[in-house]
Amino acid sequence: MPAVFDRHYVKRLDGPNVKKGKNKKDLADQVIADIRQFKNANNCDRMVVVWAGSTEIFTTEAPCHKSLAAFEKGLVDSDPAIASSMIYAYAAIRMGIPYANAAPNLSADVPALMELAAHTKSPMAGKDMKTGQTLIKTIIAPALAGLDAADQAGVYVEPSPLDPDGDSKQKRIYFESSLRIQPHGGETVREVKSINGACEILIDWPHGKRGPFYQSAREVVQAALEGKATPAQAREAFAALAAHAGILIGDSGS
Ligand SMILES: NC(=O)c1ccc[n+]([C@@H]2O[C@H](COP(=O)([O-])OP(=O)(O)OC[C@H]3O[C@@H](n4cnc5c(N)ncnc54)[C@H](O)[C@@H]3O)[C@@H](O)[C@H]2O)c1
């Protein structure tokens, strides 16, 4: 059956088998009809919905996530803060069906959908599954691939104002788009624009919080500084570490 899908939330995928509707409320109603039809056709007594779609872009709680009324208005207005996975979550929870989120994105993890779940007595679980896949896919595999990528790195090196001829080893290697982090306990938001910037933050990373995610990110960032991994791989590894640490507040390139 056609999916609720929008490339805005998953940039690297596309496909023709998608639902059309006048707004996101219409799409949610179509998912509700699909679930009902599946239940009847398969004579199910009970159902569980598990979101296992591709990871969506990093988002944070928006005004339309704050209450059920705001969310339902957001559906009618096709609010961009309502991602595809949230439409599936809304449909399942509206029907009182248990909903589990196997992905690391926001999905049902917002007050509006928790409020709905309390009304419909729909159990909720998630997020992400702890199989180790995320660590492999976002950090270790790119690091291994990066060892072979030096010649194809496509690195954009901007001359430093201190070194206009670009001779010194202090060249900054910029990401295609920056990341924003907000370290715990601080109000300052830092914009991480380059491999060098990420490296500086990793050097300052609190020693007590340096787990396997940190070690892997540091290796990829170091490899990128040496031209053995691409800026995109360094950016992805750093973003994964920052998201894991709960300090990533903006990823303009997802
Ligand atoms: N595989 C694991 O062990 C594991 C572990 C932890 C978390 N996860 C998370 O679970 C999710 C799925 O992982 P996977 O390994 O199965 O990925 P996958 O890429 O193999 O499968 C994702 C599928 O979702 C489909 N899809 C994307 N958007 C959709 C939409 N809006 N509606 C319907 N289908 C859609 C894609 O076409 C694809 O077939 C990811 O978010 C991943 O990070 C997986």
155 and 241 assigned to the same domain: yes
The domain that holds 34 is classified in CATH as 3.40.50.720
Could you give the CA distance from residue 135 to residue 106 in angstroms, rounded to a whole number?
A: 18
| Residue where a domain terminates, one of 75, 101, 126 | 126
Compute φ and ψ for 192, nearest 5 degrees: -105, 105
184 and 206 assigned to the same domain: yes
Q: Is residue 33's pLDDT more than 90?
A: yes
Cis amide linkage into residue 127, ω under 30° from 0:
yes
Residue 109 CA to ligand 1 center (angstroms) comes to 18
Give the total number of structural domains in the chain.
2
> What confidence category does residue 41 fall into, taking pLDDT thresholds of 50, 70 and 90?
very high
User: Does the beta carbon of 100 sit less than 6 angstroms from any atom of ligand 1?
Assistant: no
Compute φ and ψ for 65, nearest 5 degrees: -95, -5
Q: What is the percentage of the chain residues whose pLDDT exceeds 90?
A: 48
145 and 242 assigned to the same domain: yes
Does some domain include residue 242?
yes
Q: Is residue 250's pLDDT more than 80?
A: no
Residue 172: its pLDDT value, please?
A: 79
The one-letter code for the residue type at 30 is Q
Could you give the CA distance from residue 95 to residue 46 in angstroms, rounded to a whole number?
A: 11
| Residue where a domain terminates, one of 126, 144, 170 | 126
User: Does the beta carbon of 5 sit less than 6 angstroms from any atom of ligand 1?
Assistant: yes
Does some domain include residue 7?
no
Could you give the CA distance from residue 212 to residue 130 in angstroms, rounded to a whole number?
A: 14
144 and 160 assigned to the same domain: yes
| pLDDT higher at 58 or 137 | 58
Most confident by average pLDDT, 24-33, 121-130, 202-211: 24-33
58 and 149 assigned to the same domain: no
Look-up of token digits 């894991």: 244
Residue 229 CA to ligand 1 center (angstroms) comes to 26
Could you give the CA distance from residue 105 to residue 128 in angstroms, rounded to a whole number?
A: 8
Q: How many CB atoms lie within 10 A of CB 101?
A: 24
Residue nearest (by alpha carbon) to ligand 1 atom 8: 103
DSSP state of 73: H
User: Does the beta carbon of 101 sit less than 6 angstroms from any atom of ligand 1?
Assistant: no
Residue nearest (by alpha carbon) to ligand 1 atom 9: 103
Measured distance between the N- and C-terminal CA atoms of the chain, rounded to whole angstroms: 27
Does some domain include residue 100?
yes
User: Which residues are bridge partners to 172 per DSSP?
Assistant: 158
Residue 139: its pLDDT value, please?
A: 66
Residue nearest (by alpha carbon) to ligand 1 atom 24: 53
Residue 61 CA to ligand 1 center (angstroms) comes to 22
Residue 102 CA to ligand 1 center (angstroms) comes to 8
105 and 189 assigned to the same domain: no
pTM over 0.95? The answer is no
Residue 129: its pLDDT value, please?
A: 77
pLDDT tens sequence across 180-213: 998 877 778 888 999 988 988 888 888 788 888 8
Residue 143: its pLDDT value, please?
A: 64
151 and 211 assigned to the same domain: yes
User: Does the beta carbon of 197 sit less than 6 angstroms from any atom of ligand 1?
Assistant: no
pLDDT tens sequence across 84-117: 999 999 999 999 999 999 988 889 999 999 999 9
User: Does the beta carbon of 126 sit less than 6 angstroms from any atom of ligand 1?
Assistant: no
212 and 141 assigned to the same domain: yes
For 182-251, where are the E strands, in sequence order?
Answer: 190-194, 248-251
Average pLDDT for residues 167-180, to the nearest whole number?
74
Query: What H or E segment, with its residue span, contains residue 222?
Result: helix 212-225
Residue nearest (by alpha carbon) to ligand 1 atom 20: 54
86 and 171 assigned to the same domain: no
User: Does the beta carbon of 194 sit less than 6 angstroms from any atom of ligand 1?
Assistant: no
Domain carrying residue 77: 24-126
Does some domain include residue 111?
yes
119 and 150 assigned to the same domain: no
pLDDT tens sequence across 142-162: 666 655 443 344 433 333 333
Q: Angle at Cα 163 formed by Cα 162 and Cα 169, nearest 5°?
A: 115
> Of all atoms in ligand 1, which is nearest to the CA of residue 105?
41
User: Does the beta carbon of 52 sit less than 6 angstroms from any atom of ligand 1?
Assistant: yes
Does some domain include residue 11?
no
Does some domain include residue 157?
yes
226 and 242 assigned to the same domain: yes
Average pLDDT for residues 234-240, to the nearest whole number?
93
| Residue where a domain terminates, one of 126, 155, 174 | 126
113 and 137 assigned to the same domain: no
User: Does the beta carbon of 134 sit less than 6 angstroms from any atom of ligand 1?
Assistant: yes
Residue 87: its pLDDT value, please?
A: 98
pLDDT tens sequence across 3-26: 999 999 988 788 899 999 999 999
Residue nearest (by alpha carbon) to ligand 1 atom 33: 3
> What confidence category does residue 163 fall into, taking pLDDT thresholds of 50, 70 and 90?
very low
Does some domain include residue 14?
no
Does some domain include residue 10?
no
Could you give the CA distance from residue 47 to residue 213 in angstroms, rounded to a whole number?
A: 36
